[in-house]
Structure 1
Amino acid sequence: MAFSFRLIFVLTLLSCSPMITMAQEIKYNHNSITISEIKKKVDFSVLTPNKIPVDWTLDTKITPWLMLHYMDSTDIKLMVAIHQKKGFPLSNDDFPLAEQVDISGNKGYFQKWVDSGEVDRNGDTITGGLLNWVQDGTFIEMNSSRLSKEEMLEIARSMN
């Protein structure tokens, strides 16, 4: 009886919080090159999140930065952008207005958007902000206006 209750509770909890799940397979869009192809072209460690919704798609670009743009299931809304390049040391002076956060033992800096809480022209409430850190020699800049700070940190902490 107690086991059945726990099982139902866990299943209910999982179905009510689908935001972050383990991705089974990356769904690329816009003729993006794959992560394995990107790793052959750059001179730094390419880090990808392990915890993203399974229905998001990924648009990749290599310019001066490696850009990973995770789009919603309709491929219309940018959910989170993760930009990477060869790392360099960060200091508190680089982000004087940001809150210091821990990302898997790495010092990170989070700053919410100035217009956070306002409604954009599409009727969506602006959340999230800008998150920066260095991990495994790679500088990472993550931004989102759709995800909360906590959701962004969960994704950041799943990167390897």
Structure 2
Amino acid sequence: MTTTAKEIKYNHNSVTISEIKKKVDFTVLTPKKIPDYWTLDTKTTPWIMLHYMDSNDTKLMVAIHQSRGSTLSEAELPPAQQVDINGNKGYFLKWVDSGNVDNNGEIITGGLLRWIQDGTYIEMNSSRLSEEKMLEIARSMK
């Protein structure tokens, strides 16, 4: 179930999003619609990385990487499906092995989603979430 996150549960002694925002010179966007049982592991080098983990902190559910960005050219990307994210042009690319079973017995789904919003380049990837769920999370980022 996807809900509006009220309090983020950080793991691994992560730096908080509030602390990250004070250290960077671009807008750090965070999803507002994520399951309330996910935890967050943040990393700040070389990108701002938000890694949302399952409640057991064993599976990466979705990774969201951010940096300063101004343009995103179709010519620079492999062929991808164009999508709209909050009025911004985004690109979604399914994994090559989508639909196959991984080493843990799970079906690979999702892919790589890229867009620029408020001057921030964002890359989201997941092998556990569907394209629809990834787009829902992306569209909730503020």
TM-score range, shorter chain: over 0.9
Q: Does 1:24 align with 2:24?
A: no
How much does 1:95 deviate?
Answer: 1.9
> Runs of 5+ in structure 2 lacking a partner?
none
State how far apart, in whole Å, the 2-side matches of 1:140 and 1:24 are: 22
Match of 2:19 in 1: 37
Q: TM-score w.r.t. structure 2 length?
A: 0.98
TM-superposition CA deviations, 1:52-86 (whole Å, max 9, x none): 00000000000020000000011000000000000
Q: Deviations over 1:34-61 (max 9, x none)?
A: 0000001111100000000000000000
1:52 to 34, 38, 42: 34
2:43 is the alignment partner of 1:61: yes
Q: Which residue among 109, 121, 126 is the counterpart of 1:144?
A: 126
Q: Which has the larger radius of gyration?
A: 1
Q: How many residues align?
A: 142
> After the TM superposition, which residues 11-160 of structure 1 pair with which residues of structure 2 at under 5 Å, given as runs?
18=1, 20-160=2-142
What 5-or-longer segments of structure 1 have no aligned partner?
1-17
Shift of 1:88: 2.4
Q: Which amino acid aligns with 1:153?
A: L
Aligned-pair identity (%) = 75
4+ aligned runs moved over 3 Å, structure 1: none
SS in 2 for 1:151: helix
Letter of the 2:85 partner, please give it: I
> Which of the pair has the greater relative contact order for Cα pairs under 8 Å at 6+ separation?
2
Return the offset for 1:96: 3.8
Structure with the larger strand share: 2
The aligned amino acid for 2:52 is Y
What TM-score do you get using the length of structure 1 for normalisation?
0.87
Higher helix share: 1
1:21 to partner: Cα distance? 1.1
Counterpart-to-counterpart distance in 2, 1:88 and 1:129: 23
Using the alignment, how far apart are the partners of 1:96 and 1:107 within structure 2?
Answer: 15
- Counterpart secondary structure, 1:154: helix
